[in-house]
């Protein structure tokens, strides 16, 4: 028998509260969304981290952002090998079906996935180095960027690696033919952002200066 438990009561109660307030006030919009389908303007790739909340930062309404969240906001390179690639499926759906106008990669400070990569590549996380570690194998996507990190304090190197996670995703995104086509047709732009959780600041990558600058 399939294992599944009832929802904890505090969540049930909060759901009832939502239904009686937010839903009640927006019922026509939810019905509209159900009947007319979604037409988001942008896809956001962000981290699973519970402290990152793109809808809040951008005051986004239901229906605005198509959001994929994974560990460390990584997009792997185009690999059409007939295997299962969840992130690539999300990007393909957003670009070819929904035809979003923007692909936004949102990185953040204090990222546990990036820290794991840092420790693994430094030889300090044998667990992540095992071939059976999904987090380890996933963070391999960033190993070449670790190898290229400049000297510096661990803090500054970690921050740089968080930035590189965003840039790696941007770089990999253009290896997808449908992404490149949409960009060349002027239908799609890419954007690289990094959020400092404590300071609430947001930086945007500028290819001219090759730096993340505060917006």
Rule CB under 8 A: which of 18-77 touch a second copy? 18-41, 43, 48-51, 53, 55-71, 74, 76
- Residues 80 to 109 in contact with a second copy, rule: CB under 8 A: 80, 82-94, 97, 99-102, 104, 109
Nearest to a second copy of 24, 153 (CB atom): 24
User: Which pair of tokens denotes residue 195?
Assistant: 């959020």
Q: Which of residues 135-194 bind a second copy (CB under 8 A)?
A: 135, 137-141, 167, 170-171, 174, 182-183, 185-193
Q: In whole angstroms, how close is the CB of 160 to a second copy at the nearest point?
A: 15
Confirm whether residue 47 is marked as ligand binding.
Answer: yes
Q: How far is the CB of 123 from a second copy (least distance, A)?
A: 19
Q: Between 57 and 149, whose beta carbon lies closer to a second copy?
A: 57
Minimum CB separation of residue 120 from a second copy in Å reads 13
Residue number with CB closer to a second copy (84 or 153): 84
**What are the structure tokens assigned to 122, written together?**
């430094």
Report in angstroms how near the CB of residue 156 gets to a second copy at its nearest: 16
User: Which residue from 123, 132, 150, 153 is in contact with a second copy, where contact means CB under 8 A?
Assistant: 132
Q: Whole-angstrom Cα distance, residue 68 to residue 70? A: 7
User: Does 49 appear as a known binding residue?
Assistant: yes
Binding site membership: which residues? 47, 49, 108, 111
Binding residues for Zn(2+): 47, 49, 108, 111
């Amino acid at each position: 028998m399939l294992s599944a438990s009832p929802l904890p009561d505090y969540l049930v109660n909060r759901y009832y509260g939502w239904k009686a307030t937010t839903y009640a006030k927006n019922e026509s919009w939810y019905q509209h969304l159900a009947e007319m389908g979604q037409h988001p303007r942008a896809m956001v790739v962000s981290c699973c981290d519970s402290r990152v909340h793109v809808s809040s930062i951008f005051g986004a309404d239901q229906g605005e952002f198509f959001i994929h969240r994974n560990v460390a906001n990584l997009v792997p390179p185009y690999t059409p090998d007939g295997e299962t690639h969840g992130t690539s499926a999300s990007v393909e759906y957003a670009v070819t079906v929904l035809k979003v106008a923007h692909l936004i990669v949102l990185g953040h400070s204090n990222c546990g996935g990036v820290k794991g990569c840092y420790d693994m590549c430094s030889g300090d996380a044998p667990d992540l180095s095992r071939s059976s570690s999904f987090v380890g194998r996933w963070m391999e996507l960033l190993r070449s960027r670790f190898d290229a990190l400049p000297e510096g304090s661990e803090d500054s190197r970690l921050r740089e690696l968080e930035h590189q996670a965003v840039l790696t995703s941007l770089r990999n995104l253009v290896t997808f033919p449908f992404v490149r086509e949409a960009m060349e047709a002027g239908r799609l732009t890419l954007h690289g952002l990094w959020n400092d959780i404590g300071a609430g600041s947001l930086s945007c990558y500028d290819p001219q200066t090759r730096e993340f600058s505060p917006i």
